[in-house]
Structure 1
């Protein structure tokens, strides 16, 4: 794919971060932002197992969305200790997605600092994400269009991201926040998905303690190269248009999609997937 390496810095001042990345909405990787956090030394899977091994956690896998799936409804549940044992023993598609582990284990809140980077972060408890070797997070963008500070711990993670202006190439599924789930973004079939040849994006490989800044509305596809976990801190969208889109997604789009799933069932999901292809090719003048 047409991907550029995301710029990388060791550290950055809040003035430079805002001027060079937040205002122009450009991604960046900061490599040493967490080195003075207790989490930098402590946050490995063995530590999470020690403090949270008895907690029951929600698990998600890579099965396609169906009309029976509720919004963010997990596919399975497991004790955290059992899940970490699974992560360390073999590849698995099971992931933990948007889990508020810090509510269950408040001591984790003492392990990180809220970074002063010149943006106002939402001070709710951060969500954590876990994945096994080669597990993947489908290409999507966040419903609230937040600016994201994405910190990775324990192992390696690959991130492929696209700016919002590349949405026309992404085979976006109508009334949702995702691309077609059958696209392999590691090795896309351009005969089947010709619009992707025109998409211009970015790639970064994160290691323990490194942070990726994803500007508001960016598409992102994540792959855990090794077992590991991540934490995201969020700042509300700055662009008025994105704030309006976020409100629409949360209030109107989500409710309408849930209503149509109940009414039309799987036919609604199939219709949306078909429209993702037809609409993309029609708007770009691609004949298939």
Structure 2
């Protein structure tokens, strides 16, 4: 273990505590511990005690102080974790999310003091994923400083051995994936090359007609830079949520937090298991990737501001499936790596698509699009559809409420933009 106050960097040298400490207020009273909402009275004394430990010494915390700070971090995170999971996420008070973020911050600083920068990065990521911004988004600034000190990770060559006792998720497809379906001319989604804003608005946005846009993303840096190697180098040490299983309607489907490197080694390189990185915060969490993409100009035709646009990442192996479902916003699906087979149905056909009756899955069809049970779902044959093979460099416009089914034909990375 490295001495307190030093973390291993890219060259093996210490990351000075002063570099991390400079991200925080100079004096203890500057770290205000302001919370946007009510929390239980026992929490503030714990936060103040952790703050006092942090400022108790002019240099980095010694081993005893770092250990005590780590224990307080555990208590704060465990206690707020229970609150985060006690009610539906949209009902969680911002104050409790801030408590969780402070717990992650104090824990990360304790790990830095103990010479464990990777553990500190993981705690920062947990705070970014589940907490709320505190101290001018200090967790993002801290993880950026730490990541610069860590060696760049190289992609694994071949699959890694599994953890003993871990049950693998088997692919639902056979060893040889089925060939891409043939897209018949009468069902093909039309293509346009860089239409004007007015043409797109009048002929596709207002009448709610799907279209594939060519040439719009040719200038995006991701088209030249992104690869498995690049993701390992830029984000290998970062912790992200991963969906395990081929589709979210499967009984064995679950979610797990892991590093990008572990995801690639276990679910990209390993042909015996399926995992999918479907992330709604990836580009905020890892801004280096956000710099490689652009919001399509056509989003300016919407009613909201740029900050209202939700950018999602979809990264996974061939064979992963998004079951037929609909979303409440307009969607631009931009394909960066690999190909996807996509089928669209109009919202006017909703009754023929047999949505789930449960509230959780009411926006998802019960029908397996490529292998429908027509005895159970006889009206499915009445629903007309359009389809395409979405290629790298193409953007598919999916109008609001349009039903869409997506199957990755190979290793794929897509970016979707939800806008109103």
TM-score normalised by length of structure 1: 0.72
Q: Which residue of 2 aligns with 1:75?
A: 255
Measure the CA separation in 2 of the matches of 1:77 and 1:190: 38
Corresponding residue to 1:49 among 212, 223, 232: 232
1:164 to 1:110, Cα distance in 2 relative to 1, 3 A: same
| Alignment counterpart, residue 337 of structure 2, candidates 154, 158, 165 | 154
Residue 275 of structure 2 aligns with which residue? 94
Equivalent of 1:105, from 272, 277, 286?
286
Instruction: Using structure 2 for the length normalisation, give the TM-score.
Output: 0.50
Deviates more, 1:85-94 or 1:215-224: 85-94
1:139 to 303, 319, 324: 324
Shift of residue 92 of structure 1?
3.9
Alpha-carbon distance in 2 for matches of 1:115, 1:47: 23
Q: CA deviation digits over 1:21-63, x for unaligned, max 9? A: 0011000001211111111111233222221111122122236
Shift of 1:133: 1.1
Match of 1:119 among 287, 290, 301: 301
Pick closer, same or farther for the CA change 1:63–1:36 going to 2, 3 Å: closer
Matched residue of 1:111: which SS? coil
| CA deviations over 1:158-216 (Å, ceiling 9, x no partner) | 11111111101011112321111xx3211223233211100111111111121000000
Bigger Rg, structure 1 or 2: 2
RMSD over aligned CA atoms reads 2.4
Provide the rounded CA distance (Å) in 1 between the counterparts of 2:272 and 2:419.
33
**Where does residue 351 of structure 2 map in the other structure?**
168
* Contact 2:334/2:415 (8 A) holds in 1: yes
1:207 to 385, 388, 391: 391
Measure the CA separation in 1 of the matches of 2:396 and 2:249. 27
Q: 1:28 aligns with which of 198, 206, 211?
A: 211
Specify the SS of the correspondent of 1:81.
helix
Contact 1:129 1:229 in 2 (8 A): yes
More strand by proportion, 1 or 2?
A: 1
Matched, 1:129 2:342: no
Q: Secondary structure at the match of 2:234?
A: helix
Contact 2:241 2:255 in 1 (8 A): yes
> Structure 1: which 4+ aligned runs deviate by more than 6 Å?
none
CA distance in 2, matches of 1:59, 1:74: 8
Query: Do 1:156 and 1:224's aligned partners in 2 also have CA atoms closer than 8 Å?
Result: yes
What is the Cα deviation at residue 91 of structure 1?
6.1
Residue 78 of structure 1, CA deviation: 2.3
Whole-angstrom CA distance in 1 between matches of 2:263 and 2:381:
38
Residue pair 2:190, 2:211 contacting (<8 A) in 1 also: yes
- Alignment gaps of 5+ in structure 1: 237-288
Which residue number in structure 2 is paired with residue 198 of structure 1? 382
Distance (Å, rounded) in 1 between the aligned partners of 2:277 and 2:403: 19
Of 363, 375, 382, 1:177 maps to: 363
Deviation, 1:217, is 0.4
CA offsets, 1:51-94, max 9 Å, x none? 1111122122236467xx9xxx9522322112223314426432
Q: 1:4 and 2:4 equivalent? A: no
Q: Determine the C-alpha separation between the residues in 2 that align with 1:91 and 1:210.
A: 30
| CA gap 1:205/1:91 in 2 versus in 1, 3 angstroms | farther
Aligned residue pair count:
227
Cα 1:91/1:230, change in 2 over 3 Å = farther
1:137-171: CA deviations, max 9, x gaps? 111112xx111011111111111111111101011
Contact 1:170/1:199, CA 8 A, preserved across alignment: yes
Structure of higher RCO (CA pairs closer than 8 Å, 6+ residues apart): 1
